[in-house]
Structures are given as structure tokens and as C-alpha cells.
Amino acid sequence: MKKFLTGNEAIARGAYEAGCLLAAAYPGTPSTEILENISQYSEIYSEWSPNEKVALEVASGASIAGSRALAAMKHVGLNVASDPMFTMAYTGVNGGLVVVNADDPGLHSSQNEQDNRLVAPHAKVLMLEPSDGQECLDFVKAAFALSEEFDSPVLFRVTTRVCHSKSIVETGERVEAGVKPYVKDPAKYVMSPGNALKRHPVVEEKLLRAKDYSETCPFNRIEWGNRKIGIITSGISYQHAKEVFGDQASYLKLGMTYPLPEQKIRDFAAQVDTLYIIEENDPYLEQQVRSLGISCIGKERIPICGELNAEIVRRALLGETEPKTYQVSQKPTARPPVLCAGCPHRPLYVALKKLKNIVVTGDIGCYTLGMVPPLSMLDTVICMGAGISSGIGFEKVNRMAGRKEKIFGIMGDSTFFHSGITSLIDAVYSNSNMAIILLDNSTTAMTGHQENPGTGVNLMGQPAPVIDLVNVVKAVGVKPENIRIVDPYDLAETEKAVQEAYASQELFVVVTKQPCALMKDVQKKREGLYCYSEAETCKKCKACLRTGCPAIAMKNGTIHIDKAQCNGCTLCQQVCKFDAIAKVGE
């Protein structure tokens, strides 16, 4: 059957058809939809794990137990999961183990632009790179088989455009792989130094066999055209190259990109006049080609930053500046990302903004948008969990330097479960006197409302125990008298809690509890609620505008609140000193 699928949907379908029995992930764009789609297949146990490390460890355990298993994550998630990733390369597998890594060239929703193709040779695991939806499905099925054949995890590397672009995909039927017998083998699966020392030569031998296989791997293919130009490429860059050069070039299209087929590369290069290496971000392929003594043209012309497209390739290699794609004269309206109208995080930032001499260490989530004017509250954002732990370091140095700034560390509920708990433990253990604000909006909002350990539902829609965030805070040692739980929509209550945190000389935690304003149940509950400005009493002080709510604007010298966006959170009403804003509905 042929279907119109995104790459992520096709990966999920491929896992299903391959007989995968378990899949785990932490949501992160551009990989999120893989597990959301896998969860639709009842044959596969699927879960949102607290973080990527746990996801890969769960999948690794399933693999050792004998089932085919998959873990999925975005590129920075693989940083978190690198510990089990590198060790599983040594242990090898029982059932096939596929690790889907989604890179984000162009930084559409990420804090860096790392190229995780470099992880495969570092971790010593096989790597496959699909170029479209059909290859996503086919390559995943092959990845499970290769994992079992070479007794190794397989890194399945995709990028944003492959994940989210749609193409026609021919699907098949599920083939049950079953569960292989588990045989107790500590020498293989217990990575104590003595055992690991013996496993390392085994890993190297597997890579030599995989290198031989790469020469005949059907995913590494030559497409002969005009031999004046030869192009070595992989992934989405192959699509860009084909669009630009068509049959006016020959292609070595690499689908298995570690280990690379060195002899095939040499043979191809010897039969073309000029060799281009077309790839996004780092010169991964280019460096390998040059190490073989082959002259080529790559990053001296093709940008190392950002994602590629046909126009960039055409300009870089052909010198053509006239765009060949359809152009429109109208430019899109600039829409900087902002917290949504009615977002429960906004009142917290409004309360913080009233404090003087503070440093706010932020984290990854919707609340990162607290950096945007007019709120402009964040000093740092590094990675998941660093909202607390970087604040600890900042506060320690402040003490050494005799500086008086109060440190506030901010993170959301899903991030807290992901990697904030250990950071909080360190804050307690290190006797930090920073203030921590946990923004509990009852979901993993930024990636599209996925479940987490605090929501009471798992990925498969089944009831699950609720991990109470406040109880965790108490359990790790924060004094109960230094914990405040507030409704952020109550600005006075929120300001009071923030002031207490500011004044405290001990570790202090404020928990704001209101669900994300975009959740369906919340929107239904608030249907018909909105605020409006009464022009006759408005003094045009613009205090409401300084909340940064996108529903509020100054039009023709008058404050206007768009009732289509407003959901009646009343923050604007509470900051107005002149009672010029009223609310409609209960």
C-alpha cells in the first residue's frame, strides 16, 4: 500500500514492519513524532522516558533480553544518552537495537547545530542515513537486521527536512521477529574493566567486517550521468544535489555512512573529472575522502553553518545567483517567538521583573521565551537541567566575589523530571541559597503536549502513577517552610512568593501550578472568557503591553485586546492600576 508519509511516520512504520517490540524516547523536535506514531501500533510497547539516557537504557535492556528495540531522540538528546550508547557498542546486542538521532541543521528548535555523524566513528557503531520517507522505512528495517548481523547498535541519523518532509512511501506488512532466547553472559554484558578490555578487540573486528559490507551495501550506490562532475553525498543533501545537477553529474549516494566504502569512493573518484562533496554542517564525508588522498571540492565553497537548499548549492558550486525556484514579492510578516496569550509562565516573569539585582538562569522549554522583550529576564540557557545547576555555580562565584545578586533558577515540570532532580539534589547538597522556580504546566508543552511522569497518563494513553513534583522537592531535602506552591494567575500571590524567595538566605523553591493554556481541556474550560480595554478609563500607561502578551496591542492610540487570542487569564487586568481592563465570562 502506498501512503503519503513524513520521514518520522515512515520510521515508525518501518519499526512496526521490522517486528520491533519496544520503543522509548524523550520528545524533542525534530524527532518527536516518531514515538507518537509508534504508539499507535499496539504490538509495540512505547514510552516517553524521563530523559534520553533512560530511553536508550530501556531499549538496551529490551535488546539484551532478546527483542528488537528502538530509542529516538534529537541531536542534543544523544549527548544525554551517550553513556549507554558508547557502552552498548562494546556489549553488542541480542535483539536488534536502533538509535534514531535527529539532527537540526539550521537550528530551527535547538540550542546548537552539532553534526552527530561524528558520533558513529567515535562510538564505533554502524550508521545509516536515509534521504526520503521510503528510505526511512526501508533503512529502519535494514538497521534492525544489520544490528543483529554485526552485534552492534545502529545509529540511524536523520535531519529536520527528512523528518518533516512528506513523500510517497510503499508500506508492507509486519514480520514478527519474536524474542530471542537470553543466555546469561557476564563476559559480554557486564562491562567491568576486565570484560570491557576483552570486548574492545571484538568491536574493532566487527567494524572491519562492517567496512567490507559497506562496499557492497545496496544503500551505497553509484548513479552514472555526466562524468565531468562527480558528487559524493548523503541524506537530504542528495536531494539538493539532484535538484541542482540532475543528469549533468554522476553521484555516489551513501546510505551507510559508517563505516564508509573506501574502495567504492576511490573507484568513483577515479572516473570523474571534478569531485564535489555536498553535505550539511561539518565536513564529515569530505575529511574521509581527503584522508584517502583524493582531491575534492567541499567546504571551501559550501557553507558549514546552517542547512542547505538547492539555491545555496547552485550558488556555491555553479556561481548562479539568479534563483530558479518560484519567487513571491511579498515578504512574510516578522513573527518573533513569544509566550502564548494566557501562558501561565508570563505572570511569573512579570513578578520577577519587579525585583532588582537578580540573575536568572534559564532552561530548555517554552519558558526560554522569557528572554524575549519586553520580559527580557533570562541571563543563561545552556541545556536541559542547567537552569538549576548553572545557577549553583553562579551563586558560588557570587559569594567568592562578594557580589549581592540573587540567583533564580527556572525550569519546567518535564525538564525537572528529565534532569532537574539531580540538579536540585546538588543544590541541597552544596548548601546553595539560590531560589528555584519550577513551572508546572502539566505537560511537555514546547514539543506538542507529550505526557511526562507528572501527567498521570503514559504515551499509550493508559493511566499511570503521578509523580508529585512537590513531594520530590521535599524528598531530596528542601525544607518544607522554604517551599511555596502558587497559582501564577494570581499575581499578588506569585509576587509574594517570589519576594520571599528573594529574601531567603536558604535554598528556596517556588512551584507555579497551572496547565498550559493551549491544552484542549483548558481551552474548552475557558471558552468565551476574554478581557477588553475600556477606552474611557485607559490612561495609555502601557503597563499591559509590558507583559508581552501577543493578544494586546496599541492601535490608533488605543489599547486593543484581541478576544480571539485572549483566554481571560487576567494578567493584564491585574497590572492595570486604573481599572481600565474588564473581563467577560466567569
Single-letter residue type at 169? V
pLDDT digits (tens, 9 = 90+) for 373-414: 999 999 999 999 999 999 999 999 999 999 999 999 999 999
pLDDT tens, residue by residue, 228-275: 999 999 999 999 999 999 999 999 999 999 999 999 999 999 999 999
What's the pLDDT score for residue 329? 81
Structural domains of the chain, with CATH: 2-216 (3.40.50.970), 220-318 (3.40.50.920), 345-522 (3.40.50.970), 526-584 (3.30.70.20)
- Kindly state the average pLDDT of the residues 503-514: 97
N-to-C CA span, the chain:
51
The C-alpha cell of 274 is what? 571534478
- Assess whether pLDDT exceeds 80 at residue 214: yes
Residue 145 has pLDDT above 80, yes or no: yes
Question: What is the identity of the amino acid at 129?
Answer: E
In this structure, is the dihedral angle defined by the CA atoms of residues 224, 226, 232 and 238, taken in order, positive or negative? negative
Q: What is the pTM of this model?
A: 0.93
Mean pLDDT, residues 134-142: 98
What is the model's pLDDT at position 87?
Answer: 97
Which grid coordinates belong to 58? 530501556
Would you call 377 helix, strand, or coil by DSSP?
Answer: coil
Inform me whether the pLDDT recorded for 152 exceeds 90: yes
Reported confidence tier of residue 14, pLDDT bands at 50, 70, 90 = very high
Could you tell me which residue, 10 or 327, shows the higher pLDDT? 10
CA 396, 401, 406, 408 torsion-angle sign: negative
**Statement: residue 294 has pLDDT above 80:** yes
Could you tell me the three cell numbers for 231? 558528487
